[in-house]
Structure 1
Amino acid sequence: MVAFTELTASLLPLILLAAFLYTWRRLSASPRRPPSPRKLPIIGNLHQLGEFPHRSLHSLSQRHGHLMLLHFGSVPVLIASSSAAAAEIMKHQDSLFSNRPKLSIADRLTYGSSDVGFAPYGDYWRRVRSVCVLQLLSNKRVQSYRRVREEETSVMIDKIASSPQNANLSAAFQTMTNDVVCRVALGRKYGGGGDGEGIVFGEIVEALIELLGTFSVGDYVPWLGWINRINGLNARVANVAKMYDEFLQRVIQQHRDKGEGGDDGSAVDFVDVLLQFQRESEEKVEDYTIKAVIEDMFNAGTHSTATALEWTTAELIKNPRAIKTLQTEVREVGKGKEEIDEDDVERMPYLKAAIKEGLRLHAPTPLLLPREPIRDTKVLGYDVARGTQVMINAWAINKDPASWGDDAEEFRPERFLDSSVDLRGQHLQFIPFGAGRRGCPGITFTLAVNELALAKLVHRFDFGLPGGARVEDLDMTEASGVSVRKKSPLLVVATPAS
């Protein structure tokens, strides 16, 4: 008995050491998850999103960290709210995070995610994106549509001049961007012609964009998917998808009937280019691919472009010093000219800085489209499992005082005049169009439209508010949606410049 006790006593340190090592190994092997706010059963953190998710998520990140893990129903969602986290996801591990989660509404509206925006990462996506970058949105192709931009921005200016006392700039911007994209993508305007086809198409585009920003509870709580049948959402999606498909099929057939566009490329629209790609491609290209890519052009090229122009113009009107500086620059460059052209724009650094500052404060898509890692990985020391949705809060990053100083909330275009920070995804503290492989390929097109439109506006008009309201009191309230526009339209008194 004594011998047994002595043996036990002699082995006790080894037993304790073995227990310690076993526990340490188990703890070391446990995933180190990012910090998380408390969640509710079934819905997880969905109740914390609020009407404006980019703002709600920013508030949560201030308490839990710039990299945090939430649960939307049963789906883990990583939220990145700093440039360091964004750089890790969209730069250092870009290829690993380039997949898209499958979202039911987007999938049904984009022909099974056959577009560039929602297609899963792989050979198909690379092939379609290459067509967009090299054929549709290259610098050469964008320049070939210069005449379209100059004509449609002039039409917009004339319409504003026709009702200067109560000009609705929000509506003017939306009409102008829609007409530009229609002419560039489809070969003609569909803005409400006498046959009614334009009105119908405008309604289809509006419905498409609204539905793409609609939350589907079934994506996150699968057993509640039946709700979309009861509330009519499934029927709406099916109806809009059908109308869009039938309209684009007619457009494609009209292009096939008329044959190829002009040899110099000036009369060639996106449908022409895609049909040529379809004819010449070694791999089969279905009509639905053409339709999905054209849909991307409207989703990104109309609402987002008009929204960005609306916010920048509103910020300028609200800040008399800034708009006076811009008007001085534009009117000096355009002195003696009836109208500004794109050559003039290249000599306007403050104009370009104002556009950047507007995009910094009001990213058209404040939460970038979600990504998904293709395998388990680590981000800033935290474990992130395959299948986790990843959302990057561009709105929070673009306004982070750590990058932009104590005046980060202020509209100050001067901050870009002597700065190398650009918006094309190289500087991760400023990502209005995203970055990496999944960054927006249409940046050059968007900037060309907005810079010319804004230059023509301030060249032609001085601005005030209806009823003699002070410009400093201009309502800047946001409206909810995938593209966060102004809640109230931008109504102004547009006085011809003296």
Structure 2
Amino acid sequence: MTSIMLLQSGLLVLLACIWSLISASSKSKHQTLPPGPRPLPIIGNLHMLGNLPHRTLQNLAKQYGDIMSLRLGNVPAIVISSPKAAEPFLKTHDTNFASRPKIQATEYFYCTKGMAFSEYGPYWRHVRKICTLQLFCPAKLETFAPLRKEELGGLVGKLKRAAEEGEVVDVSEKIGEMNEDITYRMVLGCKRDDRFDLKAIVEEIFFLVGAFNISDFIPSLSAFDIQKVSKTADQLWDKIIDDHEQAAETKGGGKQGQHEDFVDVLLSFTKQLLNPNDEQVHFLDRENVKAILLDMITAAFDTSATTIIWSLAELMRHPRIMKRLQEELQTVVGMDRMVEESDLPNLDYLDLVVKESFRLHPVAPLLDPHESIKDITIDGYDVPKKSRLIVNFWSIARDPNVWSENVEEFCPERFTNINVYRQGHHYQLIPFGTGRRGCPGMQLGLTTVRIVLAQLVHCFNWELPNGMLPLDLDMTEKFGLSMSMAKHLLAKPTFRLM
């Protein structure tokens, strides 16, 4: 009797699977998907992406339209490539596209318990609230201003000594090291040292999360030993958290106040409810803390430094723009002191330069991927549930209908006639994303980029090495979770302050 029941149960399961496949096939036939290139069996359109997917997708959009359909392995994807196409997805139907797809790397690195890659829902809202109100609020960022000033002063001192020796400097390396030191001190409360070498781990995560890894779309083809890297990261975070907990016990409650680093702040929430009035009660445990810290580190390590390097490279390529920015700094700040963060609101042309750098060299050319929560129809196209939404900001920022014909030219003046802000309300310029999934650390990033760039331009003149002409500077891109220059920026500084 039992065997007959098992057989019947098995047949029912088989029939259910067959019916599911038939229903899915029937449904797909009646769907009106956006146009797009024909996918191949199994791999879909993955083979078309190449080493610079943002450029490939822009070219495909010219053929298939600003709302385009792809299949990445067995994952349906929608690519949007213009401000007009972006608005209904990221504004009108923002809630439906507020989730994140699950990818293999985030599962192993507990990123789904953090903020950047967790699914949309009550837990994500609670974590974002903590990050917004406790880590990135104006008061907290202001407490770190002396730290930023100290580290930036250290960088200027190193460059000044190099200038006195007539040395050519690896600008990319120096800016990257300074940015790492600021990040370590804000997040972990310490400087870079051998105990907490997170750089290699972050670089691995950047590679695994930033690339179109075939294992995310065809899981059976996984080729990465992610478990080994995640185990190393886990041990490192345990050490960091243990040290902070021991320090808190020794000092009778921790640092108590404004100089708490991010680890201290997050650990203070492990002993209390995130929202006691919510029907779904959430605690922060050690895994949650690790995930949020990893979000902070990966977001801060490379992004600001990359934007500063692109901006400085463009200024070296365009002496007229460099001169105009230096004249503004001389007028506003003078030549007898260094730039202070309090000067930034008065540096209008600096703001235009940074905006143009965000436009022409977005750190995240495809932003972070979104995922649809339910089936929806937009502009007459059906978008199935669990579709991956790819926002090609690189293409949006080069839309000739918005930016005129000279879209590839670095021209800060274009923003004098275009009322665009970076907060995500104008879809022509969304370097920090927009809507519910917009980056909560935007203000910190903007402050860091502007003060460092202002300091480097105000304190130094820059000369390219070996007689290189400005327009010969190699501006080749390297694609990843952040899009950096393929080759390090090398230059010879000359100190110019009195």
Which residue number in structure 2 is paired with residue 173 of structure 1? 175
How far does the alpha carbon of each residue in 1:394-440 deviate from its partner, in whole angstroms, 9 at most, with x for none? Answer: 11001111111112211111122354310111001111111110111
- Selected match of 1:241 from 230, 237, 244: 230
Which residue number in structure 2 is paired with residue 293 of structure 1? 292
Which residue number in structure 1 is paired with residue 99 of structure 2? 99
Which residue number in structure 1 is paired with residue 267 of structure 2? 275
CA drift of 1:204 comes to 2.3
The DSSP-based 3-state class of the residue aligned with 1:310 is: helix
Distance 1:372 1:480 in 2: 22
- Measured at CA, do residues 472 and 341 of structure 1 come closer, stay the same or move farther in structure 2, by a change above 3 Å? same
Structure 1 segment 65-76 matched on structure 2, within 5 A: 65-76=65-76
Q: Runs in 1 of length 4+ with deviation above 3 angstroms?
A: 260-264
| Contact persistence 1:85–1:380 (CA under 8 A) | no
How far does the alpha carbon of each residue in 1:228-283 deviate from its partner, in whole angstroms, 9 at most, with x for none? Answer: 3xx4x1x2x21221122111211112111222454441x11101111112223254
CA drift of 1:162 comes to 2.5
Which residue number in structure 1 is paired with residue 306 of structure 2? 307
Structure 1 segment 216-227 matched on structure 2, within 5 A: 216-222=213-219, 225=220, 227=221
The DSSP-based 3-state class of the residue aligned with 1:280 is: coil
> Is 1:46 the equivalent of 2:46?
yes
Which residue number in structure 1 is paired with residue 195 of structure 2? 197
CA drift of 1:46 comes to 1.0
| Contact persistence 2:105–2:205 (CA under 8 A) | no
| Contact persistence 1:350–1:417 (CA under 8 A) | no
Distance 2:214 2:118 in 1: 21
**Count of residues in correspondence between the two structures:** 457
- Selected match of 2:188 from 175, 186, 189: 186
CA drift of 1:336 comes to 4.3
> Is 1:254 the equivalent of 2:243?
yes
How far does the alpha carbon of each residue in 1:103-131 deviate from its partner, in whole angstroms, 9 at most, with x for none? Answer: 1112211x161111110010111111111
Distance 1:411 1:240 in 2: 39
- TM-score relative to the length of structure 1: 0.88
Q: Which consecutive unaligned segments of at least 5 residues does structure 2 have?
A: 1-25, 277-281
The DSSP-based 3-state class of the residue aligned with 2:329 is: helix
Distance 1:439 1:172 in 2: 29
| Contact persistence 1:434–1:440 (CA under 8 A) | yes
Which residue number in structure 2 is paired with residue 62 of structure 1? 62
CA drift of 1:220 comes to 1.6
Distance 1:137 1:114 in 2: 19
The DSSP-based 3-state class of the residue aligned with 2:97 is: coil
Let me know the Cα RMSD of the aligned residues.
1.8
The DSSP-based 3-state class of the residue aligned with 1:113 is: helix
CA drift of 1:211 comes to 2.4
> Is 1:141 the equivalent of 2:143?
no
- Selected match of 1:215 from 212, 216, 222: 212
CA drift of 1:207 comes to 2.3
| Contact persistence 1:375–1:385 (CA under 8 A) | yes
The DSSP-based 3-state class of the residue aligned with 1:96 is: helix
Distance 1:334 1:407 in 2: 32
> Is 1:444 the equivalent of 2:436?
no
> What amino acid sits opposite 1:406 in the alignment?
E
| Contact persistence 1:168–1:492 (CA under 8 A) | yes
How far does the alpha carbon of each residue in 1:362-403 deviate from its partner, in whole angstroms, 9 at most, with x for none? Answer: 110101111111111112221111111110101100111111
The DSSP-based 3-state class of the residue aligned with 1:215 is: coil
How far does the alpha carbon of each residue in 1:131-170 deviate from its partner, in whole angstroms, 9 at most, with x for none? Answer: 1111111122111111111111111111222323211111
CA drift of 1:189 comes to 1.1
Which residue number in structure 1 is paired with residue 21 of structure 2? none
Distance 1:158 1:416 in 2: 33
Which residue number in structure 2 is paired with residue 37 of structure 1? 37
Structure 1 segment 411-430 matched on structure 2, within 5 A: 411-430=410-429
Which residue number in structure 1 is paired with residue 115 of structure 2? 116
Distance 2:298 2:401 in 1: 32
Distance 2:413 2:170 in 1: 28
The DSSP-based 3-state class of the residue aligned with 2:185 is: helix
| Contact persistence 2:432–2:439 (CA under 8 A) | yes
The DSSP-based 3-state class of the residue aligned with 1:60 is: helix
> What amino acid sits opposite 2:461 in the alignment?
D
- Measured at CA, do residues 407 and 112 of structure 1 come closer, stay the same or move farther in structure 2, by a change above 3 Å? closer
- Measured at CA, do residues 478 and 347 of structure 1 come closer, stay the same or move farther in structure 2, by a change above 3 Å? same
Which residue number in structure 1 is paired with residue 492 of structure 2? 493
Distance 1:51 1:350 in 2: 34
> What amino acid sits opposite 2:135 in the alignment?
L
> What amino acid sits opposite 1:280 in the alignment?
Q
How far does the alpha carbon of each residue in 1:41-89 deviate from its partner, in whole angstroms, 9 at most, with x for none? Answer: 2211111101100000000000010001011122111101011221111
The DSSP-based 3-state class of the residue aligned with 1:403 is: helix
CA drift of 1:347 comes to 1.2
Distance 2:215 2:201 in 1: 24
> What amino acid sits opposite 1:96 in the alignment?
N
Distance 1:38 1:306 in 2: 39
> What amino acid sits opposite 2:266 in the alignment?
L
| Contact persistence 2:111–2:292 (CA under 8 A) | no
CA drift of 1:219 comes to 2.3
| Contact persistence 1:85–1:379 (CA under 8 A) | no
- Measured at CA, do residues 319 and 336 of structure 1 come closer, stay the same or move farther in structure 2, by a change above 3 Å? closer
| Contact persistence 1:90–1:97 (CA under 8 A) | yes
Structure 1 segment 435-474 matched on structure 2, within 5 A: 435-474=434-473
- TM-score relative to the length of structure 2: 0.88
The DSSP-based 3-state class of the residue aligned with 1:58 is: helix
How far does the alpha carbon of each residue in 1:1-44 deviate from its partner, in whole angstroms, 9 at most, with x for none? Answer: xxxxxxxxxxxxxxxxxxxxxxxxx99x9322111112222211
The DSSP-based 3-state class of the residue aligned with 2:283 is: coil
| Contact persistence 1:398–1:432 (CA under 8 A) | no
CA drift of 1:339 comes to 1.6
Which residue number in structure 2 is paired with residue 367 of structure 1? 366
Which residue number in structure 2 is paired with residue 320 of structure 1? 319
- Measured at CA, do residues 174 and 112 of structure 1 come closer, stay the same or move farther in structure 2, by a change above 3 Å? closer
Distance 1:32 1:335 in 2: 61
> What amino acid sits opposite 2:131 in the alignment?
C
The DSSP-based 3-state class of the residue aligned with 1:163 is: helix
